[in-house]
Amino acid sequence: MKWPLLDVPGTAALKDSRSPTPGHLSNKVPVVQHPHHVHPLTPLITYSNEHFSPGTPPSHLSPDILDPKTGIPRTPHPSELSPYYPLSPGAVGQIPHPLGWLVPQQSQHMYSIPPGGFRHPYPALAMNPSMSSLVSSRFSPHMVPHPPHSLHQTGIPHPAIVSPAIKQEPGGDNASNPTHGKSSVPAKKEEERKPHIKKPLNAFMLYMKEMRAKVVAECTLKESAAINQILGRRWHSLSREEQAKYYDLARKERQLHSQLYPGWSARDNYGKRKKRKRENKPDSAPESFSPQHKKQCMSYLPSEKMCDSPTSSHGSMLDSPATPSAALASPAAPAATHSEQAQPLSLTTKPEGRAHHPHFPLPGRASGSSSSASTPSPSSHPSISLHSQSAALLSRPIPFTSLPPSLLSPSSPFHQAALHSHHALLQTQPLSLVTKPVE
């Protein structure tokens, strides 16, 4: 099922991402509508900080680098060495932080605006008539409008595009390329010429990108694995509204991404990375962890406990956004009856594999399925499967999208019951730790 697209004014045209119609996009994408508005995703769609590093521009941003595809020399522009929006210096000062509501404190240093201004992260989108005012005078000639289908070959430094030279697999990616071999030389060449278009970031990734620096600063930690654990917990501690913001951003980004790369599929990136080494897991029982995994988990726990102060534990996982609209329609009352400590590291209870979060059928593909609301799959989450009673209490993640707004009201019996069940579940969560072998 798909994320139930919001009827957010201005996004309707994006709903059909496969048939981008510049004319439609014009006045329906509020994020780029106003000439002085910065794309709300600005700091989040960087995809890679490589594109930001003013001091050490990646090779593909090097001025004297020719586009591997077109051979067109990249026009060096100061703004390319740092953030995205090619706004004039005079306009920079007018830029409200696109995520001011997200990063009230750290926005200044996290997204400092360089002298060169921003570079629009989605130049192609900027090329439609309505956006032309935004970019017409800010892009160098080679960034002049191109049909979406040719974007990959223009050398436009879209943050989602990573030069093959950077992202390329060691050894020519042969190992993971099913078409490798003598007979696939053309295919290989073709593959090499293709820029690596990264996946759009999901809500949590956006959140991580946003909050990582803060957590790092707070905890003086740098290991991403540890940071991510903390962020994962904090993510769950966010209120529905707070998460909804990120879901909304992620949705918009997906829409923009699909607008820019109509032919792109997540499958395109399959095999781009080296295969993970989790193959050694199958031989172990679900509840048995490899020593390495154990060690990793345990080693990260103390750090997290020390750092992860429940500064934002007013949310509930039940309050996670089914849809932003739902969240906004009925913002969850701060159900701060549990703290993060009350949910000790459920992440460590994940034996292996990935499972969709059972608590909330977030507006993904499952939400469109009516059966998803009636056929719970608690086993999809290890911690749930370990607590059938809790799972029964929770009885099942009913898609909020399928519920009438009245039930979504914090004061509604359903809401209260759900919270009660949720809290009951949380109280059982510590048990899940027991299931984790302690060395």
Partner DNA sequence: TAGCCTTTGAAGAAT
Partner DNA sequence: ATTCTTCAAAGGCTA
> Of residues 17-46, which lie at the interface with DNA (CB under 7 A)?
46
Total number of residues that touch DNA (CB under 7 A)? 78
Binding test (CB under 7 A) with DNA, winner from 297, 335, 391, 408 = 297
State the Cα–Cα distance between residues 20 and 30, nearest whole angstrom: 16
Reduce the secondary structure of the chain to three states and give it as a string: CCCCCCCCCCCHHHCCCCCCCHHHHHCCCHHHHCCCCCCCCCCCCCCCHHHCCCCCCCHHHCCCCECCCCCCECCCCHHHHCCCECCCHHHHCCCCCCCCCCCCCCHHHHCCCCCCCEECCCCCHHHCHHHHHHHCCCCCHHHCCCCHHHHHHCCCCCCCEECHHHHCCCCCCCCCCCCCCHHHHHHHHHHHHCCEECCCCCHHHHHHHHHHHHHHHHHCCCCHHHHHHHHHHHHHHCCHHHHHHHHHHHHHHHHHHHHHCCCCCHHHHCCCCCCCCHHHCCCCCCCCCCHHHHHHHHHHHHHHHHHCCCCCCCCCHHHCCCCHHHHHHCCCCCCCCCCHHHCCCHHHHCCCCCCCCCCCCCCCHHHHCHHHHHCCCHHHCHHHHCCHHHHHHHCCCCCHHHCCHHHHCCCCHHHHHHHHHHHHHHHHHHHHHHCCCCC
Is 435 among the residues that bind DNA (CB under 7 A)? no
* Positions 77 through 96 that interact with DNA (CB under 7 A): none
Measured between alpha carbons, how far is residue 183 from residues 5, 161, 178, 179, 376 in Å? 44, 27, 11, 8, 47
Instruction: Choose which of 212, 214, 305, 423 interacts with DNA (CB under 7 A).
Output: 212
Kindly state whether residue 235 participates in binding DNA, applying the rule CB under 7 A. Answer: yes
| 150 phi, psi to nearest 5 deg | -105, 5
- Binding of DNA at residue 396 (CB under 7 A)? no
- CB nearer to DNA: give 224 or 339: 224
Nearest distance from C-beta of residue 76 to DNA, angstroms: 23
Residue 101 interacting with DNA (CB under 7 A):
no
**What minimum distance in Å lies between the beta carbon of 80 and DNA?**
17
Nearer to DNA, 75 or 220 (CB): 220
Q: Which is nearer to DNA, 65 or 165 (CB)?
A: 165
Please choose, out of 56-64, 106-114, 187-195, 216-224, the segment that lies near DNA by the rule CB under 7 A: 216-224
Shortest approach of DNA to residue 255 CB, angstroms?
A: 9
> 161 has which bridge partners?
197
Counting contacts by CB under 7 A, is residue 252 touching DNA? no
Question: Using the rule CB under 7 A, which residue among 158, 350, 387, 422 binds DNA?
Answer: 350
Contact characters 177-206, DNA, x per CB under 7 A: -------------------x-xx-xxxxx-
Cα 41–Cα 165–Cα 194 angle in degrees, nearest 5: 70
Q: Which of 99, 113, 127, 250 is in the footprint of DNA by CB under 7 A? A: 250
312 binds DNA (CB under 7 A): no
Nearest distance, CB of residue 144 and DNA, angstroms = 26
Among 75, 292, 339, 389, binds DNA (CB under 7 A): 292
With respect to DNA, which residue has the nearer C-beta, 80 or 253?
Answer: 253
State the Cα–Cα distance between residues 318 and 338, nearest whole angstrom: 12
261 binds DNA (CB under 7 A): no
- How near is the Cβ of 320 to DNA at its closest, in Å? 6
Q: Exactly one of 303, 320, 402, 429 binds DNA (CB under 7 A); which one? A: 320
Among 79, 229, 325, 429, which residue sits at the site for DNA (rule: CB under 7 A)? 229
User: Using CB under 7 A as the criterion, what x/- string covers residues 146-175 for binding DNA?
Assistant: -----------------------xx----x
With CB under 7 A as the contact rule, which of the stretches 5-13, 80-88, 290-298, 407-415 interacts with DNA?
290-298
Stretch in the footprint of DNA (CB under 7 A) among 106-114, 180-188, 361-369, 389-397: 361-369
The answer to whether 300 contacts DNA (rule: CB under 7 A) is yes
Q: Which of 180, 214, 357, 423 binds DNA (CB under 7 A)?
A: 357
